[in-house]
Structure 1
Amino acid sequence: MHQLTIAREYLTARARGTGVCVVIALAASFLASHYGAPVMLFALLLGMAMHFLFEEDACIGGIEFCSTTLLRIGVALLGARVSLDQLMSLGPQTLVLTPALVAATLLAGWGLAKLLGRSTQFGLLVGGAVAICGASAALAIAAVLPRNAEAERDTLFTVVAVTALSTLAMIAYPLLFSALHSSDAQIGFLIGVSIHDVAQVVGAGYATSDATGDVAVFVKLLRVALLPVVVLVLALAYRRPSDTDNGSGVHIPLFVIGFMLIMTINSVGLIPAVVSDAANTTSRWLLITAIAALGVKTSLKSLAKLGWQHMGVAVLSTLFLLLSAVASVWLLGSTGLLPG
């Protein structure tokens, strides 16, 4: 009975704030489907418009719950999108080149942040979001970086920036890659490796051709599969001294373990298609709700004070990935290492 009382009090303390974030997520989804715009962006904007609710004691617990616990669960469920068979079908060149571009972009974000006077954590956050899978990667990486007064503001800015840049890329990149006289396979690779968010990769890929879309999605899934690796490396790099001094060993975030476990189970065919679809849908809704919560926690006034350097890191990291991808395809294609 005592445990039931504790559980009831826990849920009651978080019910109002969670309800607020769920309503914002539902409204964002409706607006996104009606206007054909990114749902993450609507969730952020609507959340920021409700910032005053974060000053209400009755809502704070639920908003924090959505921006942390639901976020981690949503990231873990992303593992249902990926299987090892899908990744191996890309070929050895793609399996080597894609992680190399992800690592290079992550380092570029870090270097650009230092060059423009931003924090190392912000550079890694932007670099990871650009390199891997946009808003989802930003949320996952933010969960293991040190938490401070600027962390949530930087996370929100990163989600806004990469979502906007990804939408622009969805429109511009297919035209650019076609103008470069690339083959369908090369265009698919370029779209999959250089556009941030999964939804925009799907839109850009299949708008070109079915063959291009298939390659783009598989390459994108490879980038998503690298998310737990990057998160784990950053978790180890930023682990607290107490994580090892108390004899407990290295702390691995549970949601990283969950992602890898679900991906492994999916790879051996133990997850039915209907369950995989349900996991993907649940993950999407949890991440939308988490972003809505982050929006509620952050004010527009605080974002306006960030300066042009923040946007500079995001834009230059995006351009770095684009130019590196195009150069790689041109070089490997001309030498016969990457099929045309």
Structure 2
Amino acid sequence: MISSLAASLPNRTRALAPGFAVSLIVAAAASFLSEHYGVPVMLFALLLGMALNFLADDNKCKAGIEFTARSVLRLGVALLGLRITLEQIAGLGWKPMALVILLVVTTILVSVIAAKMLGFPRLFGMLTGGATAICGASAALALAAALPSHPQKERATLFTVIGVSALSTLAMILYPMIAEFFGLSPQLAGIFLGATIHDVAQVVGAGYSMSSETGDTATVVKLMRVAMLLPVILCAAMITRAQGVDAGGKKPPLLPWFAVGFILLACLNSTGWLTPSLQGLGSDLSRGCLVIAISALGMKTRLGELAAVGIKPILLMVGESIFLIALVLLVLHWGF
């Protein structure tokens, strides 16, 4: 069916169609399983993609899988801009924003240093730190798209997605208990959950499981963290540019097109012109693109390659999460 459909398309589209179609099917299966079993969709997409990794070497599918893992990923990152507005960020005042900036910068710096001490490239520390500090798997994928090429980049990206998805699910269960243990008020509990849990969906689930006020606060604080994706992407782009020319002999742009799209869509979303239904559609499209892209990335890796990294990356990501919890609780105690 896929082959007959591809035969009727223009040459470029025909070359990409089989690989893209396979990625789309894997993403649809992952979404179905996620809805019925409550496991993060990114994790299902990655594991199902890895089960079909032989397709990445197939001549019919290879080009489409490469395109999906690269271009569809960047489109999904650009559409993340529709998740935030300037009004949402301003609504909580300057303290939560200062907290978000502090935790994102500090967590990424500590992660880069810790990764270097453990013998990993700084790139791996930036990926895991960005995923922990900003917005989980989405941040890892966005940073991977902006960071310079590295022989281990795809493996590091996939390992980060697996780790942060598992930790985010665990956080959704444990972090409300931590908030209750420390006797945080509904608003402070929302700030704590929004500032520490990795993925947006898990923040929403944890926040509203406590109260409506906690859920609302947690969601807005989380969106502030999502907004930090842009400056971090810009820093990654400058690192990439400083590395020199790319494979085509040209310097990569200082501002990648998906970062420009992120800015423009965030500004458009802040005008109030978009209806809630359009905002929801954009958010769903972003999520869909990222799930399709991670399916393709899964097809490009081998389980043996991930298993070879050992226990140290797991310790790094757990340590980053514990550091983030301690930092946020300390700031809430002394600064709020």
| TM bracket (short chain) | over 0.9
TM-score (norm 2): 0.94
Deviation at 1:14, TM superposition (A): 0.7
Partner of residue 4, structure 2: none
Partner of residue 117, structure 1: 119
Distance in 2 of aligned mates of 1:61 and 1:110: 33
Question: In the TM superposition, what whole-angstrom CA distance separates every residue of 1:182-223 from its partner, at most 9, and x where no partner exists?
Answer: 101111000000000001001100011110000000000000
Counting only pairs closer than 5 Å after superposition, residues 140-289 of structure 1 correspond to structure 2 as: 140-239=142-241, 240-242=243-245, 251-289=254-292
Q: Do the aligned partners of 1:117 and 1:309 also contact (CA within 8 Å) in 2?
A: no
Moved more, 112-121 or 143-152: 143-152
Q: What letter corresponds to residue 189 of structure 2 in structure 1?
A: I
Partner of residue 91, structure 2: 89
Q: What letter corresponds to residue 286 of structure 1 in structure 2?
A: C
Q: Do the aligned partners of 1:133 and 1:223 also contact (CA within 8 Å) in 2?
A: yes
Question: In the TM superposition, what whole-angstrom CA distance separates every residue of 1:113-169 from its partner, at most 9, and x where no partner exists?
Answer: 011111100000100010000000000000111212211010000000001011101
Q: 1:230 to 1:301 in 2, by over 3 A?
A: same
Q: What letter corresponds to residue 96 of structure 2 in structure 1?
A: T
Question: In the TM superposition, what whole-angstrom CA distance separates every residue of 1:240-278 from its partner, at most 9, and x where no partner exists?
Answer: 4349xx998952100001001100011111222222111
Counting only pairs closer than 5 Å after superposition, residues 299-310 of structure 1 correspond to structure 2 as: 299-310=302-313
Distance in 2 of aligned mates of 1:107 and 1:249: 24
Distance in 2 of aligned mates of 1:281 and 1:56: 30
Moved more, 124-133 or 263-272: 263-272
Q: What letter corresponds to residue 48 of structure 2 in structure 1?
A: L
Distance in 2 of aligned mates of 1:241 and 1:54: 29
Distance in 2 of aligned mates of 1:238 and 1:266: 29
Q: Do the aligned partners of 1:108 and 1:320 also contact (CA within 8 Å) in 2?
A: no
Q: Do the aligned partners of 2:204 and 2:215 also contact (CA within 8 Å) in 1?
A: yes
Distance in 1 of aligned mates of 2:168 and 2:279: 25
Distance in 1 of aligned mates of 2:30 and 2:244: 41
Q: What letter corresponds to residue 204 of structure 2 in structure 1?
A: V
Partner of residue 11, structure 1: 13
Percent identity of the aligned residues? 46
Deviation at 1:312, TM superposition (A): 1.6
Distance in 1 of aligned mates of 2:236 and 2:265: 21
User: Which runs of 5 or more residues in structure 1 are unaligned?
Assistant: 1-6, 333-337
Deviation at 1:97, TM superposition (A): 1.2
Question: In the TM superposition, what whole-angstrom CA distance separates every residue of 1:57-95 from its partner, at most 9, and x where no partner exists?
Answer: 111111111111000000100111100000000111111
Deviation at 1:43, TM superposition (A): 0.4
When the two chains are superposed, the root-mean-square deviation of aligned CA atoms in Å is 1.7
Distance in 2 of aligned mates of 1:190 and 1:328: 10
Distance in 2 of aligned mates of 1:110 and 1:148: 16
Q: Do the aligned partners of 1:118 and 1:309 also contact (CA within 8 Å) in 2?
A: no
Partner of residue 3, structure 2: none
Distance in 2 of aligned mates of 1:46 and 1:176: 33
Partner of residue 331, structure 1: 334
Distance in 1 of aligned mates of 2:183 and 2:329: 12
Distance in 2 of aligned mates of 1:241 and 1:121: 16
Distance in 1 of aligned mates of 2:150 and 2:91: 42
Q: 1:125 to 1:247 in 2, by over 3 A?
A: closer
Distance in 2 of aligned mates of 1:30 and 1:249: 38
Distance in 2 of aligned mates of 1:37 and 1:242: 40
Q: Do the aligned partners of 1:44 and 1:294 also contact (CA within 8 Å) in 2?
A: yes
User: Which runs of 5 or more residues in structure 2 are unaligned?
Assistant: 1-8
Partner of residue 6, structure 2: none
Deviation at 1:23, TM superposition (A): 0.4
Q: Do the aligned partners of 1:13 and 1:62 also contact (CA within 8 Å) in 2?
A: yes
- Are 2:303 and 1:291 equivalent residues in the alignment? no
Distance in 2 of aligned mates of 1:238 and 1:146: 5
Partner of residue 319, structure 1: 322
Q: What letter corresponds to residue 94 of structure 2 in structure 1?
A: P
Across the two proteins, how many residue pairs are aligned to each other? 326
Counting only pairs closer than 5 Å after superposition, residues 103-142 of structure 1 correspond to structure 2 as: 103-142=105-144
Partner of residue 68, structure 1: 70
